[in-house]
Structure 1
Amino acid sequence: MRGPSHARDEYKESVQSYIGAQLSSSNRNTESITSLTMQAMLTILSLMAAGTALADIQIYSILNTPTGGGGAGEGYKFYSSQPDCNAPGNAIFHAATDDASSGGVRCEGCNGDQAIADWDIAEFEWNINEGHFTIYSPDYTITPADGSASRGTCRRDSGHDYNCPVAGPLGQESGVRVFICETDLGGVE
C-alpha cells in the first residue's frame, strides 16, 4: 500500500521533471527563468506546507490479569495498527496514574465502572519516552506539554477489543480501543 510520503515523492518528481522540461525548451531568457524559479519555489513551499506524513496511533485501555489471582494491572498501550493476540507483547504497558507529570498515563473521565464507549473523557495525558502530550476534549487535539503546536487529532473509537492469553505471570491481557489518532508523532509505544 502506498502511503502519503510515497505519493508526495511521486508528485515532487513530476514537478521536478516539468520544471526541467520547461527550462530546456525555453529560450532561457531571464524572464522565463525567473518565472520558472517562482513556480519551483511555490511548489516547494506547498510541499513543505503539506507537512510530515501523518500516521495512525491507536490507544487501548488495558487490563492485565495475573495467573493465580491477585491485583489486575490497569493502564494503556499505544499501537500503530489494530492489534490481535500476536501483538500485546509488542507494545509497552503504561500504568494508569492520577498524575502523569513524572510518567505514565492520566485520564480525566475514564471510569472503570462504565463501558469505554460511555466514558466522558475531558483530558487524556501521557508522559512516556516519546514525549509528554495531552488530548483535550471536545476536539481531541494532541497538545504538547511544552505548549508548542498541535501534533494531531484523535477521535473516540471503542470499536475494537481483544482478550488474549499472555505468557508468564500475567496470564491474560484485555484491551479496548479508546482513541484513534492521526499524528506526526512516530514510533509511539
Structure 2
Amino acid sequence: MRFIVLFLLSVFTFGQTNDTINLNEINLMDFSKYKQFRPKYKKIRRLTDHTTYGIKVFSTLHLPDEDEIAIVAIEILFESKIKKKNYCNEYYYFKPIILENKDSKISLIDEKWFEVDKDYAGKYIFPVRLKINPKQAQNFVIGYETHYDNPFCPEGNGYFDLVETKSASTLFYGANEQLLEQSPLKNHAINYRLYYR
C-alpha cells in the first residue's frame, strides 16, 4: 500500500509540470563566449540511482570570487565510467534547481523539466537566468530532481556523478520534502559547471 501511495504521489507531482524540453532538440547556443566556473575537485565518484521514483540531490553552490554574476547556464557533467546502462526507459527527466538554503521550497531559477536520452553519458547544458552576488550566497544549494516514465526497472534507473571537492561542501538528499545532509559524503558536490557573465 505504501508503495502505491508513493508511486501515485510521484506521478501526480510530475504530472503537474507540463513544460518539458527535449535537450536533444534544443538549438543550443554557443556558451563558450561566457566565463566558466567549476568547483575544484580531487576525484569523481559515480552513484547509481536504484529508486523507482527518481531522486533529488543537492550540494553547496560553489561560485567564482566576483562581486556579481549572471548565470546563463548550468552544465551537468557525467564523467565517470559507465558499467551498465539503463534500458528500461528510453528517456527520463531532469529539473535543475537552485535554492537560497536547504530549507527553501522555491527555486531561484525557472522550474523546467528537461527530457534526457537514456544514453546520456557526457554532459547536458541547461539554460537558466539568475543574477547573484556570490558573497551573499553563502547558504545557496544547487541540485536537480529526476523522474522516470517507467518506475518498474529491475536494475538501476540511471546514475549521476559526485565530485570530492577541495573546499568545504555539503551534500543533501531529498526525502519527504526535506533535504537531509549526507555525512558519509562530506565535501562532495554534484558534478557541474556554471556559465556566467
Q: TM-score, normalised by structure 1?
A: 0.22
Q: TM-score, normalised by structure 2?
A: 0.22
Query: Could you say which structure has the higher strand fraction?
Result: 2
Q: Greater CA radius of gyration, 1 or 2?
A: 1
**Larger RCO (CA under 8 A, 6+ residues apart):** 2
